[in-house]
Structure 1
Amino acid sequence: MDKFIVSARKYRPQNFSTVVGQSHITTTLKNAIKNNQLAHAFLFCGPRGVGKTTCARILAKTINCENQTNDGEACNTCNSCVSFDAGTSLNIHELDAASNNSVDDIRSLVEQVRFAPQAGKYKVYIVDEVHMLSASAFNAFLKTLEEPPPYAIFILATTEKHKILPTILSRCQIFDFKRITNDDTVEHLQEICDKESIKAEKTALHVIAQKSEGCMRDSLSILDKIVSFTNGALTYANTLEHLNILDEDYYFKLLEYLQDQNLSDALLMYDEINRKGFEGDTVLEGFAEFLRNVLVSKDAKVAMLLEVAEDFKQKYLQAAQKVSTAYIVSALNVLNESGIQYKQAKNKRLHVELTIIKLSYLQQAIELVGNEDGLSKKKITDGAKAIAFRALPVTKAKIIEPQPAAVAKPKVPATEAKLIIQEPAPQVKPAATVNKQPASNGGTPSLASLNKLRQQISKQAQAGDGGIKPLTIDELTTCWEAFIEKLKEKKNPAAITNFRNAQLSIVDDYSFDIVADGELPRKFIDNERAELITHLQNHFNNKQLVYSIKVVENKENTQPAERQLNTKEQYQRIVDEYPLVKELKDRLRLQLDY
Structure 2
Amino acid sequence: MHMTLYRKYRPKTFEEVAGESDIIKTLKNSLDNNKLAHAYLFNGPRGVGKTTSARLIAKGVNCLKNGISSTPCNECEACKEIDRGNFIDLIEIDAASNRGIDEIRELKDKINYRPSKGRKKIYIIDEVHMLTKEAFNALLKTLEEPPEHVIFILATTEPDKILPTIISRCQRYDFKTLSYQEIKNKLSDICEKENIKIDDGSLEVIYEASGGSMRDAISILERVAVSNLGQEITEEDASKTIGITSKNLLQNFYDIIKGNSLQKGVEFLENLWIESVDIEKFFKDFAKFIKDETYKGNIEIEKGLKIIGDTFDSLNKFKYEEDKRLLGYVVLNNILNNQIKLKEEVIYKEVVVENKNTEQENKVIAKEPSITIEDVKGKWNEILKLAKNEKPTYRAFLSDAFPLKIDGENLYIGFRENEFSKEQMETDYYNIPFQEIVQKVTNTKLKLHYLFKKDRNIVEKKKENMTQDIVAYFSGE
Task: State the TM-score, normalizing by the size of structure 2.
Answer: 0.70
The Cα shift of 1:258 comes to 2.5
1:352 maps to what in 2?
Answer: 328
For 1:123-138, list aligned pairs within 5 A: 123-138=121-136
Question: Identity rate of aligned residues, in percent?
Answer: 35
2:293 maps to what in 1?
Answer: 294
Q: What secondary structure sits across from 1:156 in the alignment?
A: strand
2:255 maps to what in 1?
Answer: 256
1:456 maps to what in 2?
Answer: none
C-alpha separation in 2, matches of 1:414 and 1:231 = 64
C-alpha separation in 1, matches of 2:116 and 2:305 = 66
The Cα shift of 1:388 comes to 6.7
1:140 maps to what in 2?
Answer: 138
Over residues 503-551 of structure 1, what are the superposed CA-to-partner deviations in whole Å (9 max), with x where a residue is unaligned? xxxxxxxxxxxxxxxxxxxxxxxxxxxxxxxxxxxxxxxxxxxxxxxxx
C-alpha separation in 2, matches of 1:111 and 1:246 = 54
1:385 maps to what in 2?
Answer: 433
The Cα shift of 1:264 comes to 2.5
The Cα shift of 1:256 comes to 2.2
Change (3 A) 1:66 1:208: same
For 1:423-434, list aligned pairs within 5 A: none
1:191 maps to what in 2?
Answer: 189
C-alpha separation in 2, matches of 1:10 and 1:219 = 14
Q: Residue 317 of structure 2 aligns to which amino acid in structure 1?
A: Q
Structure 1 gap ranges (5+)? 299-316, 368-377, 392-412, 422-444, 447-594
The Cα shift of 1:83 comes to 3.5
C-alpha separation in 1, matches of 2:115 and 2:450 = 89
1:375 maps to what in 2?
Answer: none
Q: Is it true that 1:204 corresponds to 2:223 in the alignment?
A: no
Task: State the TM-score, normalizing by the size of structure 1.
Answer: 0.57
1:35 maps to what in 2?
Answer: 33
Q: What secondary structure sits across from 2:254 in the alignment?
A: helix
Q: What secondary structure sits across from 1:199 in the alignment?
A: coil
2:171 maps to what in 1?
Answer: 173
Over residues 152-189 of structure 1, what are the superposed CA-to-partner deviations in whole Å (9 max), with x where a residue is unaligned? 11111111111111111111111111111122111111
For 1:25-174, list aligned pairs within 5 A: 25-68=23-66, 72-174=70-172
The Cα shift of 1:39 comes to 0.5
Alignment RMSD, CA only? 3.0
The Cα shift of 1:275 comes to 2.0
C-alpha separation in 2, matches of 1:101 and 1:363 = 52
1:497 maps to what in 2?
Answer: none
Over residues 141-161 of structure 1, what are the superposed CA-to-partner deviations in whole Å (9 max), with x where a residue is unaligned? 222211111111111111111
Change (3 A) 1:223 1:147: same
1:221 maps to what in 2?
Answer: 219
Larger Rg: 1
Q: What secondary structure sits across from 1:42 in the alignment?
A: strand
Q: Residue 4 of structure 2 aligns to which amino acid in structure 1?
A: V
Change (3 A) 1:25 1:212: same
C-alpha separation in 2, matches of 1:382 and 1:231 = 52
Over residues 482-516 of structure 1, what are the superposed CA-to-partner deviations in whole Å (9 max), with x where a residue is unaligned? xxxxxxxxxxxxxxxxxxxxxxxxxxxxxxxxxxx
Q: Residue 27 of structure 1 aligns to which amino acid in structure 2?
A: K
1:343 counterpart (314, 319, 325): 319
Over residues 100-150 of structure 1, what are the superposed CA-to-partner deviations in whole Å (9 max), with x where a residue is unaligned? 222221111112111122443211111112112111111112222111111
For 1:302-381, list aligned pairs within 5 A: 317=298, 320=299, 327-365=303-341
The Cα shift of 1:420 comes to 5.0
Q: Residue 320 of structure 2 aligns to which amino acid in structure 1?
A: Q
Kept after mapping to 1: 8 A contact 2:60/2:67: no
Change (3 A) 1:258 1:100: closer
Kept after mapping to 1: 8 A contact 2:270/2:325: no
Q: What secondary structure sits across from 1:265 in the alignment?
A: helix
Q: What secondary structure sits across from 2:290 in the alignment?
A: helix
Over residues 445-488 of structure 1, what are the superposed CA-to-partner deviations in whole Å (9 max), with x where a residue is unaligned? 99xxxxxxxxxxxxxxxxxxxxxxxxxxxxxxxxxxxxxxxxxx
Q: Residue 124 of structure 2 aligns to which amino acid in structure 1?
A: I
C-alpha separation in 2, matches of 1:365 and 1:419 = 27
2:282 maps to what in 1?
Answer: 283
Which piece of structure 1 moves more, 342-351 or 32-41? 342-351
The Cα shift of 1:362 comes to 4.2
Kept after mapping to 2: 8 A contact 1:281/1:342: no
Task: Give the number of equivalent residue pairs.
Answer: 367
C-alpha separation in 1, matches of 2:280 and 2:101 = 46
C-alpha separation in 2, matches of 1:70 and 1:152 = 14
Change (3 A) 1:357 1:419: closer
